[in-house]
Amino acid sequence: MPELPEVEALVRLLRPRLCGQTIRSVKVRHAIALRPQTARQFRARVLGRRIAAVTRRGKYLLLRLAPKGAGWIALHFRLSGGLFWFADHRLHGHVDVAWELERGTLAYADPRHLGRVHWLEHPEQWAGIRRLGVEPLARTFTVARLRALLQHSRRPLKPFLMEQTRIAGLGNIYAAEALWRAGLHPRRRTDSLQGAQVSRLHKAIVGVLQRGIECCLKPEPELSDPEWTMPGIAALLAVYQREGQGCPRCGRRIRRIRQGNRSTFYCPGCQH
């Protein structure tokens, strides 16, 4: 599932390609991506509109339409959704919904049909967006804010960090990597953290997300390739999917445990 860095990287890649362009046609090959809206309803709302801004909220990618009051296109990728850009308007591979612009075509694809694309009057109309917690790269995400969130929970740290209603955008990969950077065990209870530990965790969350965005953009992915990936992310990983390998910090072997039906990777030597 794309997490905050992957979605933010897409925002930065697509913004110069999309902003100012008008949607000339809408192709819907698999209407399930639009549910509960219909293809007819969706087309009527977005056809002829201009893309005024490309932004993000948590793991949601948002296209603000113009003129004022024209609404938004919101996308959530879930496990396997992705966006593609075809400068020559020629679609390749599996495509669910495509927007033909003046200079190229933007396409959304999700072979498993788990993600969704919606037209919204405003982003908070989508319940998932409305319930999102603080943005971890915003100025409002302070050490004090994190401390308050931790003190009002008794959950293990890893599942807590993945709760979108508390901190928006963190998923399995970056939660595990942030905990490794902070030297905190993923099963540690949230309300047990004290002073310096909260500060370390705050620094680790912000740092790993910022580094993640950099890694997603270098090398820049080829968005016209149906199999495109962000290979640079491998340079970031210290524990995720490295079970049995040596910890980059202390050398102990990385372990994998299950938390909430998800795999968690950590170092038993330096995460306490």
Task: For the chain, give the mean pLDDT.
Answer: 96
Q: State how far the alpha carbon of 213 is from the alpha carbons of 25, 138, 272, in Å.
A: 32, 15, 27
Residue-wise pLDDT for 121-151, tens only, equals 999 999 999 999 999 999 999 999 999 999 9
pLDDT band, residue 182 (cuts 50/70/90): very high
Catalytic status, residue 102:
no
State the pLDDT at residue 66.
98
Catalytic status, residue 112:
no
What gap in Å lies between CA 173 and CA 1, rounded to an integer?
9
Please tell me the number of Cα atoms within 13 Å of 49 on its side-chain side.
23
What backbone torsions phi and psi does residue 158 show, to the nearest 5 degrees?
A: -60, -55
Mean per-residue pLDDT, 91-117: 96
Residue among 43, 59, 64, 242 flagged as catalytic:
59
State the pLDDT at residue 1.
73
Catalytic status, residue 27:
no
Torsion of CA 43, 44, 45, 47, to 10 degrees: 60
Residue-wise pLDDT for 9-28, tens only, equals 999 999 999 999 999 999 99
State the pLDDT at residue 257.
98
pLDDT band, residue 56 (cuts 50/70/90): very high
Q: Do domains 4-130 and 143-266 have the same CATH topology?
A: no
**Which among 37, 122, 112 has a CA at the least distance from the CA of 74?**
122
Q: What CATH code would you report for 4-130? A: 3.20.190.10
Catalytic status, residue 3:
yes
Residue-wise pLDDT for 204-260, tens only, equals 999 999 999 999 999 999 999 988 989 899 999 999 999 999 999 999 999 999 998
Mean per-residue pLDDT, 91-105: 95
State the pLDDT at residue 226.
82
- 44 pLDDT more than 80: yes
What gap in Å lies between CA 174 and CA 168, rounded to an integer?
12
The distance between the two most distant Cα atoms of the chain, rounded to a whole number of Å, is: 58
Torsion of CA 180, 185, 190, 191, to 10 degrees: -120
What gap in Å lies between CA 86 and CA 72, rounded to an integer?
22
State the pLDDT at residue 270.
97
Mean per-residue pLDDT, 98-116: 96
**Which among 28, 206, 20, 174 has a CA at the least distance from the CA of 107?**
28
pLDDT band, residue 195 (cuts 50/70/90): very high
Residue 36: which residues within 8 A CB-CB, separation 6 or more?
Answer: none
What are the residue ranges spanned by the domains of the chain? 4-130, 143-266
Angle in degrees, CA 259, 126, 73, rounded to 5:
115
Q: What CATH code would you report for 143-266? A: 1.10.8.50
State the pLDDT at residue 227.
85
What gap in Å lies between CA 263 and CA 212, rounded to an integer?
20
Mean per-residue pLDDT, 117-124: 98
pLDDT band, residue 92 (cuts 50/70/90): confident
Residue among 17, 29, 200, 262 flagged as catalytic:
262
What backbone torsions phi and psi does residue 50 show, to the nearest 5 degrees?
A: -100, 140
Percentage of the chain beyond pLDDT 70 is 100
Percentage of the chain beyond pLDDT 90 is 96
| % helix, strand, coil for the chain, step of 5 | 35, 25, 45
What gap in Å lies between CA 147 and CA 162, rounded to an integer?
16
State the pLDDT at residue 196.
97
Please tell me the number of Cα atoms within 13 Å of 138 on its side-chain side.
14
The separation between CA 95 and the C-alpha centre of its own chain, rounded to angstroms, equals 20
